[in-house]
Amino acid sequence: MAAPMCNAPGLWLRCRGRRRVGGLFTLVSKPFCSAAAAPGTLSAQRLAEKLRAQKQEQKTKKQLAPTSPLQRRVHELVRFTQQLQRVHPNVLAKALSRGVLHQDEDLVVINKPYGLPVHGGPGVQLCISDVLPILAKMLHGHKAEPLHLCHRLDKETTGVMVLAREKEVAHQVQELFRTRQVAKKYWAITVRVPVPSAGVVDIPITEKAVQGQQQHYKMTLSPDYRMDNGKMVRVRSNWNAHIAVTQYHVLSSTLSSALVELQPITGIKHQLRVHLSFGLNCPILGDHKYSDWNKLAPQKLSLGTLKKLGLQQTKARHLPLHLHARQLILPALGSRKEELSLVCKLPRFFVLSLRRLDLQMPSQDQNGDDEAGHLRAQ
């Protein structure tokens, strides 16, 4: 006897049992009706809607994707920075091991990437200090002791960073930094050109609260003198101010930007950024904190600079800070009887900005480093 069908076409039903009533066989079945098929139908519908939403999202992202080379580079840089905060510590340690500039029995010198904090803090998921034990094992074997920080760089600063293999050596290097025996050279791209082209900025720095719509704290200048009716007048010193001295030299310039070499004699927080922005009126490209004292907002750039960079002002917030720890010169230490000069090539985004702004890279620096070769290697 053929199995009965439910109202839904194409669905065949089988009998579960039979019983005899009044001499006739009556089929007792549990049919698959349309209501039973509803969950599957709804599932397929949700899946189709989800696929359509994903397709639309991909289409929107494609439309919003940066088109110019620099916009693509900034987009990649932002994505890379975010990924550095999300990767497994082993992956980050591996990336740092590839950027080792020098290592000996006392020191390990790395190339610090952009956007990677040195220490932990609020909102920091991963930092350099977290992966020092892993990095030591990758470089020196599973029995190696964790590496030790000798100094620090800001999260947005790239370049030379010194680590020590033993705590005692780390303390010795830290003392060299504290007593200003380590020569440091930074390279920065500035908005506008410092006048004069070489000199020394010797203005104390202190931290102050900025009153406004969004109250925040910034480092700022605390000069010992001010102008009063055209006369130079000495003011009362701020007890919270720190002595800050920066030597600078313009390496290359155009009408609206410059490549500047900076040698901080002291090591105050954000010293280079404050001296350039508030002391010389030439903020560092991508310095969204110190380009304007009164507010926290993306750096305002001239139409000419934006055109060269291939950016709109609305996208300027993605510009990274163009400050690079170019060179450290360490005096003799331990078994090493000679000074150690450590040079780190520029990150790729920095080189690209130099090219777009028509700033010339020195073919060789004072130590004979072939910078042109580094450019080709990029």
pLDDT for 18: 46
pTM, rounded to two decimals = 0.76
Domain residue limits, the chain: 69-361
Residue 24 has pLDDT above 50, yes or no: no
pLDDT in tens, 112-127: 999 889 988 787 788 8
For 69-361, CATH number?
A: 3.30.2350.10
The one catalytic residue among 104, 106, 130, 154:
154
Mean pLDDT of 324-339: 91
Integer Cα distance of 267 and 157 in angstroms: 14
pLDDT in tens, 34-80: 444 455 556 777 787 788 877 777 766 655 555 566 667 677 767 76
pLDDT for 211: 79
Of the two residues 160 and 3, the one the predictor is more confident about is 160
pLDDT in tens, 305-315: 999 998 888 88
| 154 included as an active-site residue | yes
